[in-house]
Structure 1
Amino acid sequence: MRKAFYSLLFAGLLAGCQSNSSQTKENETPASEDFVRISGQDLIQPDGSKLFIKGTNLGNWLNPEGYMFGFNKTNSGRFINEMFCQLVGPDFTSDFWKKFKDNYITRKDIEFIASTGANTIRLPFHYKMFTDEDYMGLTAAQDGFARIDSVVNWCRDNHLYLILDMHDAPGGQTGDNIDDSYGYPWLFESEASQKLFCDIWRKIADYYKNETVILGYELINEPIAPYFKNMDELNAKLEPLHKRAVQAIREVDKNHIILIGGPQWNGNFKPFKDSRYDDKLMYTCHRYGGEPTKEAIQEIISFRDSVNLPMYMGEIGHNTDEWQAAFCKVMEENNIGYTFWPYKKLDGSSFMSIQRPEGWDKIVRFAESARNTYKEIRDARPDQTEMKQIMNAFIENSKCENCVPQEGYIRSLGLQSQK
């Protein structure tokens, strides 16, 4: 049945499609009107029509998160990598990450997303993909541009826009597992990290300055968790850093929109005092849980109205289909586009569900075990040959053709379930 499903799904995906109005000829410099632009609280496409963002996030692919593998304590990319190295050794772990990046998201995944009627993908990435630091199986020869280039090409072929999201910033912007940090938002205390942050964005903007498939650059994901006693002091440092990064981008790229998120899980916009330091700014908020009502996001709506700029829900999800459908209705009624989190993960609550390989619970047990001493690592480690087979099975199960589409989830977002 699954093979029949995919045969029907992918057959003719591109048939009858008109050429993408935002695509430019090779070596041709696009005009400013070829990019998505801002008009008050709306996004306007190159053909003059309004863009209401509907889509998903390619979470876990270029910034692994523990819960998407079924882990709890081992919850950041750095922790996962260390655990795998303890389990099967660094060489196999490097090979695993390379295969993971090659197979977790492919052209077929982007085609599937487009087939649902989505129009936008948000791509979270780790800053290390643009440095010479060790990351996901590579050292000095990082593959950040190559990975994003492939997504750009797949999005162009399938008429999707792409938002680039620096999910993990130098030094850590959040101080929790989601930014792969050391437990504190050191970015706001470190001049070296801030310079690297701006330099990477300038490099990315220079590389993609003529790419009209890219809707915009999301500077920083969910800065400053609400756990710190000096939270207000940290919050006050966010807007100056935004301005510094925007200035770096504008040295090379005058056309792309820049997306700004608030502190405390992209939910607090009170620290922002100046919305007019750039003429192509929009804002992004996140929401998990709570009531699916307008009242639940009234502060976000009021801020959006006060600055008269677009607001978009970059992350939302992990709830019932009924809750998601109700919240999508609220967002549409209030002109707030959305990309649900995430596209794919173990055990569903996403567009695509990855099936657990047989024996995966053994890896989960090792990940959750005490590994504070070498003796504890030795005592907890299961058979390495078997663990390698299970990890390879995870790669196989994560391929698009082997995942299970979550039809109710997709319909709840106002998109089309494929059968």
Structure 2
Amino acid sequence: MYGQKSSAKAKEKDFIAVKGQDLIKPDGTKLLIKGTNLGNWLNPEGYMLKFSKTNSGRFINDMFCEMVGPDFTAEFWKAFKDNYITRKDIQFIKSTGSNTVRLPFHYKLFTNEDYMGLTSAQDGFARVDSVVKWCKEAGMFLILDMHDAPGGQTGDNIDDSYGYPWLFESATSQKLFCDIWRKIAAYYKNEPTILGYELINEPIAPYFKNMSELNAKLETIHKMAVAAIRKVDKNHIILLGGAQWNGNFKPFKDSKYDNKLMYTCHRYGGQPTKAAIQNLINFRDSVNLPMYMGEIGHNKDEWMSAFCKVMEENNIGWTFWPYKKMDGSSFVGITPPENWEQIVAFSEAPRASYKEIRDARPDQAVARKAMMDFIEACKFQNCVVQQSYIEALGLKAK
């Protein structure tokens, strides 16, 4: 039964280790992370599907239910999870020379809450197990990233929240947050394919008047989750992201409460220069622990190529965002299926009343066919390999 077992007992030497600012593989050699993010698979985001207003998992699910009904929507989500990322995708990522994938996931995959068409039969462990198996076969490492935490840790669409980081003010959400991480850690404690656990993605958006007050709670939340994990798993590295889009590390005052910590930053835009990340380098040097660029991308090939060199020269590994989405700026692109523009139009239409929903709803047969055609379009064999994007990262496209 999922959630109640782990692989055969492993030894500490079998896992990635932290040595100063470096990650060390079990064979004693250094690991510089190079890879991509499996975004949109277990935490749908609107822009990857060409939606603008309908930009979070909850909004997307509601929109689909309004358009084609909850039962068909549940069937769609199962097909989506079965086909968006498969063994073929992981094998392709490996073929580029990547060594790591980051897997964003929603906390609801490990609860009985309604998410992507399921409730009590949530399949979080089954889905992660698949990626672990595929990565093990490919000789790659996997980072588990809780992209959407109980209550919301960011307060924007990316954490599928209600517009505020309630995690930092709710003891109930904090307990659930720690309980889920403890459950995940107990299950995977002996799995060396997993590089580490990234506690929360991009905590505390910069929009809130009480941002400083929220920032002051971040390290306490981290320590609570680390303590929960260490009750069952002393093997894995734990990754800590900075406040304000994983960019502000000033709230962190203590780097010595655990001996297997590393930090993760994000950056989109700006100049591809060392000066642009000097504050991140300074923090990394001050704590003498690894720093890794968990998300970067959505830019021109020349920018990405230049910034990859800067990161590597400064011992900062990276996973570009995302691996797959509609059109470009990713490892592979999904070609929108016929009539997808009708789905997009409904997603953008006013739907605040039942009359507005009825008036905007497209023909059922057309909408359902477009959704299932998307399932075919998202399969690796039907995607377009973005060769120049991959080569800009210093990887190889086959």
Q: Is TM more than 0.5 here?
A: yes
Matched, 1:204 2:200: no
User: Which structure 2 residues correspond to residues 100-139 of structure 1 after superposition, within 5 A?
Assistant: 100-139=80-119
Stretches of structure 2 that go unaligned for 5 or more consecutive residues are 1-5
User: Which structure 2 residues correspond to residues 143-154 of structure 1 after superposition, within 5 A?
Assistant: 143-154=123-134
User: Which structure 2 residues correspond to residues 215-254 of structure 1 after superposition, within 5 A?
Assistant: 215-254=195-234
Q: Give 2:29's aligned amino acid.
A: S
1:279-322 Cα offsets, whole Å, 9 max, x none, are 00000000000000000000000000000000000000000010
Matched, 1:408 2:393: no
Matched, 1:386 2:363: no
Stretches of structure 1 that go unaligned for 5 or more consecutive residues are 1-25
Displacement of 1:30 in angstroms is 1.3
Aligned to 1:338: 318
Aligned to 1:49: 29
User: Which structure 2 residues correspond to residues 185-196 of structure 1 after superposition, within 5 A?
Assistant: 185-196=165-176
* Residue pair 2:7, 2:190 contacting (<8 A) in 1 also: no
Q: Distance in 2 between matches of 1:303 and 1:43?
A: 17
Q: Distance in 1 between matches of 2:62 and 2:328?
A: 26
* Larger displacement relative to structure 2 (177-186 or 408-417): 408-417
What is the DSSP-based 3-state SS (H/G/I as helix, E as strand, rest coil) of the residue aligned with 2:281?
Answer: helix
User: Which structure 2 residues correspond to residues 251-262 of structure 1 after superposition, within 5 A?
Assistant: 251-262=231-242
Matched, 1:168 2:148: yes
Q: Give 1:394's aligned amino acid.
A: F
Matched, 1:303 2:274: no
Q: Distance in 2 between matches of 1:326 and 1:379?
A: 49
4+ aligned runs moved over 4 Å, structure 1: none
Displacement of 1:414 in angstroms is 1.1
Aligned to 1:12: none
Aligned residue pair count: 393
1:119-154 Cα offsets, whole Å, 9 max, x none, are 000000000000000110111110000000000000
Q: Distance in 2 between matches of 1:393 and 1:385?
A: 12
What is the DSSP-based 3-state SS (H/G/I as helix, E as strand, rest coil) of the residue aligned with 2:39?
Answer: coil
Matched, 1:159 2:139: yes
Q: Distance in 2 between matches of 1:185 and 1:283?
A: 21
Displacement of 1:202 in angstroms is 0.2
1:373 counterpart (353, 356, 365): 353
Q: Distance in 1 between matches of 2:340 and 2:8?
A: 50
User: Which structure 2 residues correspond to residues 1-12 of structure 1 after superposition, within 5 A?
Assistant: none
Aligned to 1:6: none
Matched, 1:182 2:144: no
Cα distance 1:405–1:27, how it changes in 2: closer, same or farther (>3 A)? closer
In angstroms, what is the RMSD of aligned CA positions? 0.7
User: Which structure 2 residues correspond to residues 5-44 of structure 1 after superposition, within 5 A?
Assistant: 28-44=8-24
Matched, 1:263 2:243: yes
* Residue pair 2:7, 2:191 contacting (<8 A) in 1 also: no
What is the DSSP-based 3-state SS (H/G/I as helix, E as strand, rest coil) of the residue aligned with 1:237?
Answer: helix
Q: Give 1:59's aligned amino acid.
A: G
* Residue pair 2:21, 2:289 contacting (<8 A) in 1 also: yes
Matched, 1:284 2:264: yes
Q: Distance in 2 between matches of 1:139 and 1:304?
A: 41
What is the DSSP-based 3-state SS (H/G/I as helix, E as strand, rest coil) of the residue aligned with 1:285?
Answer: strand
Q: Give 1:391's aligned amino acid.
A: M
Displacement of 1:28 in angstroms is 3.6
What is the DSSP-based 3-state SS (H/G/I as helix, E as strand, rest coil) of the residue aligned with 1:83?
Answer: helix
Query: What percentage of residue pairs aligned between the two structures are identical?
Result: 75
Q: Distance in 1 between matches of 2:397 and 2:358?
A: 47
Displacement of 1:254 in angstroms is 0.5
User: Which structure 2 residues correspond to residues 49-128 of structure 1 after superposition, within 5 A?
Assistant: 49-128=29-108
Displacement of 1:417 in angstroms is 1.4
